[in-house]
Amino acid sequence: MAKTDDKVVITREGYDKLKAELVQLRTEGRTEIATKLEEARAFGDLSENSEYKAAKEEQEKLENRIMQLEYQLSKAHVVETEDIDTSVVSLGTTVTIEDMDKGNSFTYTLVGTEEADIKDNRISAASPVGKSVMGHRIGDEVIARTPRGIRHLRVAKIILK
């Protein structure tokens, strides 16, 4: 997610996904942890009960994730599809990029940090490639400083998926 002042910029799809995760954690997640804690208490002495300690740690992780999601959603500025300008690369656009050195091309959808999933060709707008192409138009050539070195790229296509 790109930050704008204290706002977190996110696509509608990403917002809905985080919201669904929050609902799931608040309901099923908490119920599952409560069941584990109850079962662990049944084993007796809590001071030497590894199942209870493990369940408490899991509960802490769950509550931390819930707080993180609540914070992100409270600061979210949702980018709606109809507000996206496809004449430039921006959050929510799908961009085809040509690697000018290797001669191959790849297509990514630029999303917020929480939404990034390279297996689904969704990269963060804050990633090296994302930052380098943001705001550019078809035909623009950019340089991306990636962990694998400098890449010379050209924006070939911008669409909404």
Per-residue model confidence (pLDDT) at position 1? 47
Q: Which residues of 93-130 are buried (b: 16+ CB within 10 A; e: fewer)?
A: bbbebbeeeeeeeeebbbbbbbbbeeeeebbbbbbbbb
So what's the pLDDT on residue 5? 53
Quick one: pLDDT at residue 3? 47
* Predicted pLDDT at 13: 87
Question: Which amino acid is residue 44, in one-letter code?
Answer: G
Regions of the chain with pLDDT less than 50: 1-4
Q: How far is CA 132 from CA 14, 41, 54, 143, 145, in A?
A: 22, 54, 43, 7, 8
22-68, pLDDT tens digit by residue?
A: 999 999 999 999 999 998 888 777 777 788 889 999 999 999 999 99
Token reading at 114: 């929480």
CA dist 122 → 9, 36, 51, 113, 136 (Å): 15, 35, 38, 10, 18
Angstrom distance (rounded) from CA 6 to CA 8: 7
